Structure 1
């Protein structure tokens, strides 16, 4: 049984106990069918109220964080309750069964009396929604804590080798530069990549300019394989100074484009566009799909990228992936960078 089925089962059990207990009391003390019908209509309307609050009012309030949204939603639920109850008990029951719930009352009395009776469904919806939201938050916190612990352990396991490689690259640069300027420049760029990967900060973020520099170095190293037959267009619009992003958040898209795309066709170059606008970052990467590519691995994979973005930018990112069989495109939007 999955989580959704378990939740549905618990809701059905709760309503069965709640309504069953109430109906049992009326059968024991007042078994008239009029009372039974009125009781059932009341409970049905409470169920309607409950799920309007549970699925609509409280989630919208949590999304927008505005008390006005909550107040407007609760008022709307109350008016819905009053309108439905009047339709069922004062119109439908009277025309079909020949009785109604209220006799000879003023509209104002009916309205204010039903404001009171509308409260249980709203209150019950608030309690259940808040309880489930709290439990869900606790589960997410536990998951994040476990993932953080696993990431820290993985990082500790890999710390020694990157530092060793970084120091070795600096030594190789000293040996290679007198022999070949080109080889020396390539080694120093690779060394810069390693240094950037080892960079640490308290919040896990780096200056966007450093992320851009990393992309440039990565492209230059990749260019060594193709020399003059390497066609990649990297355009930047907007000011990258002062912006901060999680380290290595952009490179997976470029890596996949170079690995699985065509980079040696001047008529179909890989396109990389970075746009900064109103504290939003747009990163658009396009490449023609390499049909002869035998390596089907995709680096860290888009599902893992999505998971990382969800952890870093919950509700503040959008990742659009397009694949028409000829061209592959990823468009990433980060808010409030």
Structure 2
């Protein structure tokens, strides 16, 4: 008897990070802490930027939007995992799973685009300092943000709509703590070759173009900085890029590492643990990277904390 298509009514099972019941309380506590730290840290950046008029510049405008996006990205994965652990129920509905795929792709795409936009902002600031305020005017900054949002939504909807054309049978276990696109395609009992082809082709273009833009921006930045005669000027230029470079390295380095490791390992568990780096840890570390390496952010944090304490 052939497998019955259960696409319309089926539920997927998220196997999570470990099937060991003894580890579940530890995993719950760890990821609850990570979620709270990430949310609080990114909220502080948003509040610091909005409350300090000295930070009302394009660089911090994009940084506050990056922080908001990080909160949204981690919220699409961690709360559902925590609820599943607490309820001892690993299921997620078909609609919920596809919604999660769409949201993760969307927010990861926005992060991808914002990092490229921030690299361009640094390129203009260092290579064309006298024209910076003219080029990076508020209207242009908002347009860059809206373009990032538009292309990310289109990319996410494209892959999600492609999933709707697949049929899913009795095998519904996802060896992950969230609905990951490639893992869901693997579960399909219908022909998924076109989905795989489009996933890798479109993803290479969507993520590859911003990466190329970041590399090109920093080639021009390094070339411009090396031509500076002042050591103080060189240090100041590199220090303004240090935080962004750290975040870029963390996001793309862990993302590429996951895909490379998945190609050379047959263990889904190792891939899942590695994917925690770019879907959870990166978003948690971003506020620390920007606050510890940036003097303006440190001053803004001190002002914000003093305002909060005086209000209390």
Q: Same fold (TM over 0.5)?
A: no
Question: What TM-score results when the alignment is normalised by the length of structure 1?
Answer: 0.30
Instruction: Give the number of the structure whose residues are more often helix, by fraction.
Output: 2
Instruction: Give the number of the structure whose residues are more often strand, by fraction.
Output: 1
* Greater C-alpha Rg: 1
RCO higher in 1 or 2 (8 Å CA, sep ≥ 6)?
Answer: 2
